[in-house]
Structure 1
Amino acid sequence: MQTSVSYSAEYANAESLRRADIATTHAAALRSISRVVEDSGVHSDTGAAAAGIAQMLDIGGVLVLTGAGVSTDSGIPDYRGPNGSLRRHRPMTYQEFKYDAGARHRYWARSYVGWRQMKNAQPNIVHYVLAELEEAGKVLAIITQNVDGLHSAAGARQVLPLHGDLSKIECLDCGFVEPRTALDQRLENANPGYLERLDDAELQVNPDGDVDLSDSFIADFQMVGCLSCGSEKLKPNVVYFGESVPTPRKEQAKQLLEQSSSLLIVGSSVAVMSGYKLVLDTLRAGKPVGIINAGPTRADRKATYLWRASARDALEELIDWVL
């Protein structure tokens, strides 16, 4: 009896610690989402910054880190720009997705609708210019924080999707992986007429692939289960806020940085640590850091060259200088 009581107490204590850890990580994720990147007041001469970044590319071996700003011209909004999705939508954290069945159901209803726009998005000139610079040997590789797959679609060969991509779905219970296209067909079969009811609605997709829907539409949505174990804990193969980048990707990013001559940030505020750490590691290695972004970034004060411009405008200018 004493053993049973002791075991129950230990289990209750362990469960309490687990819940506290989840809550702490969730709170940290919310802080990351809400981080506001203020203008540092650092504004380098545009001509000098452009010339410096062009020189980096002339030398070659540049590691490029891209963010949502490279995909805005493809119809996918960014997070923290002037029209960023964070002004109207808070992304779900990993803790919400994993432990809250209701939150997970809301995500899949919204993502089922949003996937229509995500899967039809096409690369824009920024994606094509970066692929061309890679082909010319100016760019070593592209590390992207985006999950849209557009760099590869534009022909870039060495692409590391740091935060994963939306094209694969993983079961959190058994680990089974399914292509998003296959899951989408199963969802369509389970929800006949669902999309047609939204034909006249004005919906704007978010960077993580979902859209805002009314509670009535969410309630009507029917989720399907894992093909292997039947669980409905299906998750896009992307890194959510509050979730760590997988160790193999971290190691690959580290190796690419070691092989590179410099780091060029394009279309990212580097507000999250996974991107900002690349800046810090590059500077520790004594290599220059160039930044091209329309708004302020977390690394403005640390940049070797800071070019305040849209990714499209800057890349169109650079391609004429470098190639």
Structure 2
Amino acid sequence: MAGCTKAIYNYNISKMRTITISSKAQNFITTNLISILQKQHHSTQFVPEFQPIQTEDVQKLQYFVSDAKQMFVMTGAGISTESGIPDYRSEGVGLYARSTNRPVQYQDYVKSSTIRQRYWARNYVAWPRWSSTQPNQTHKTLADWENEGKIHWLVTQNVDSLHFKAGSKNLTELHGSTYRIMCLGCDNMFPRTQLQDMIAAENPNWSAASAEHAPDGDVALSPEQVAGFKVPNCNKCGGTLKPDITFFGDNVARDKVSFVFNKLEECDSVLVLGSSLQVYSGYRFLMRAAEQRKPIGIVNIGSTRADHLANVMVKAKCSDVLARIDCTDSIHWT
């Protein structure tokens, strides 16, 4: 209502003050408060329930990090949930808990044009939001640790490239990145942003919307929404295009696995963050580290496949834990 005022009560030492503000200011405050709350909800809606951090656990992890000179860090989907990206397996909030949708299998993608049509329609709709996702404090902290010389090599099982965005350089994206597209026919490689333009050109009158986002950069669409969607082919050879990621049912390239094993050899300890390690492609590096008697630390909200291998296990939210860890030799915790 024009010209109206509103009382805001601020506690000031031992008395209440009443302040009147204009309706324009009210609207500004309300709009920004709603925006802040929406962003906060978006960044936490896929984080599963977690227990308060135990000081003793933080102390143990601090000693672990302080002792490490050449640390090998492996991250999983659990560190990106705070950026608004859901994972697969978390109780209550993971994709498997919220939906009957399942990830596309590699052989199905390669053999079926119908599945590729559905995949790219969903991916096309999701791309603007997916590509605008930003690193959270855990990604930034790990980039800082690398700059401090604490992290020798970082391996992520995620395909969101948030470590790259955060500034990590000594990095292997074990399962690839959704930001790259490859041709199965001629190995042509180009940026995902280019494919978005190619799809738009092929589908000038097609549009769809969905509220449900998945861990690998797509959304849920109905068969009716997908109908009529055209999938571009390679502009060099006409071959089938695929994101440069390892689909379920596919294998990580042998040369990449060998490279990561070599990096593991160079390290003196292993820290796992936000991964249940249910997928063998990541778990095998923990088995090798255990064989080599390297100290292993794990920070994850839930249990993992490698709990029995860990020297230090902290069941808590990664960002809360890392905020209490000093990557230098000095120890501080609260």
TM-score normalised by length of structure 1: 0.81
How far apart, in 1, do the equivalents of 2:201 and 2:128 lie?
A: 15
SS of match in other structure, 1:205: coil
Structure 1 residue 137: Cα displacement: 1.4
Structure 1 residue 48: Cα displacement: 4.1
- CA 1:219–1:289: 2 relative to 1, 3 Å: same
How far apart, in 1, do the equivalents of 2:206 and 2:318 lie?
A: 37
How far apart, in 2, do the equivalents of 1:122 and 1:80 lie?
A: 22
* 2:94 alignment partner in structure 1: 84
CA contact (8 A) 1:129 1:319 kept: no
CA contact (8 A) 1:63 1:264 kept: yes
CA contact (8 A) 2:124 2:199 kept: yes
Decide which structure has the larger Cα Rg and report it: 2
Structure 1 residue 322: Cα displacement: 5.4
Query: Within 5 A, what are the aligned runs for 1:298-317?
Result: 298-317=305-324
Structure 1 residue 132: Cα displacement: 0.8
How far apart, in 1, do the equivalents of 2:107 and 2:196 lie?
A: 24
Query: Within 5 A, what are the aligned runs for 1:87-126?
Result: 87=97, 88=99, 89-126=101-138
How far apart, in 1, do the equivalents of 2:178 and 2:127 lie?
A: 9
Matched, 1:70 2:56: no
Structure 1 residue 167: Cα displacement: 1.1
Query: Within 5 A, what are the aligned runs for 1:110-149?
Result: 110-149=122-161
Q: 2:206 aligns with which of 187, 191, 194?
A: 194
CA contact (8 A) 2:74 2:270 kept: yes
* 2:38 alignment partner in structure 1: none
- CA 1:319–1:191: 2 relative to 1, 3 Å: farther
Structure 1 residue 173: Cα displacement: 2.0
Q: 2:219 aligns with which of 208, 211, 216?
A: 211
Query: Within 5 A, what are the aligned runs for 1:164-175?
Result: 164-175=176-187
Query: Within 5 A, what are the aligned runs for 1:2-17?
Result: none
Q: Read off the aligned partner of 2:96 and give its amino acid letter.
A: L
CA contact (8 A) 1:57 1:322 kept: no
Q: Read off the aligned partner of 1:221 and give its amino acid letter.
A: F
Structure 1 residue 178: Cα displacement: 2.0
Structure 1 residue 157: Cα displacement: 1.2
How far apart, in 1, do the equivalents of 2:87 and 2:238 lie?
A: 34
CA contact (8 A) 1:76 1:207 kept: yes
* 1:35 alignment partner in structure 2: none
SS of match in other structure, 1:194: coil
Question: Aligned residues, how many?
Answer: 275
How far apart, in 2, do the equivalents of 1:264 and 1:322 lie?
A: 18
* 2:256 alignment partner in structure 1: 249
* 1:36 alignment partner in structure 2: none
Q: Could you say what the CA RMSD is over the residues aligned between the two structures, in angstroms? A: 1.8
Query: Within 5 A, what are the aligned runs for 1:141-290?
Result: 141-195=153-207, 197-198=208-209, 201=210, 203-231=211-239, 233-290=240-297
SS of match in other structure, 1:318: coil
SS of match in other structure, 1:57: helix
Structure 1 residue 316: Cα displacement: 1.2
CA contact (8 A) 1:290 1:303 kept: yes
- CA 1:319–1:77: 2 relative to 1, 3 Å: farther
Equivalent pairs: percent with the same residue?
37
SS of match in other structure, 2:270: strand
In the TM superposition, structure 1's runs of 4+ consecutive aligned residues that sit over 3 Å from their partners are: 45-49, 319-323
Higher helix residue share: 1
Q: Read off the aligned partner of 2:83 and give its amino acid letter.
A: S
Q: Read off the aligned partner of 2:221 and give its amino acid letter.
A: L
Structure 1 residue 46: Cα displacement: 4.2
Unaligned 5+ residue runs, structure 2? Answer: 1-50
TM-score normalised by length of structure 2: 0.78
1:224-267 Cα shifts (integer Å, max 9, x gaps): 11111113x21100001111111121111111111111110000
CA contact (8 A) 2:71 2:151 kept: yes
CA contact (8 A) 1:57 1:139 kept: no
SS of match in other structure, 2:214: coil
Structure 1 residue 127: Cα displacement: 0.3
1:69-97 Cα shifts (integer Å, max 9, x gaps): 11111111111112111221210111111
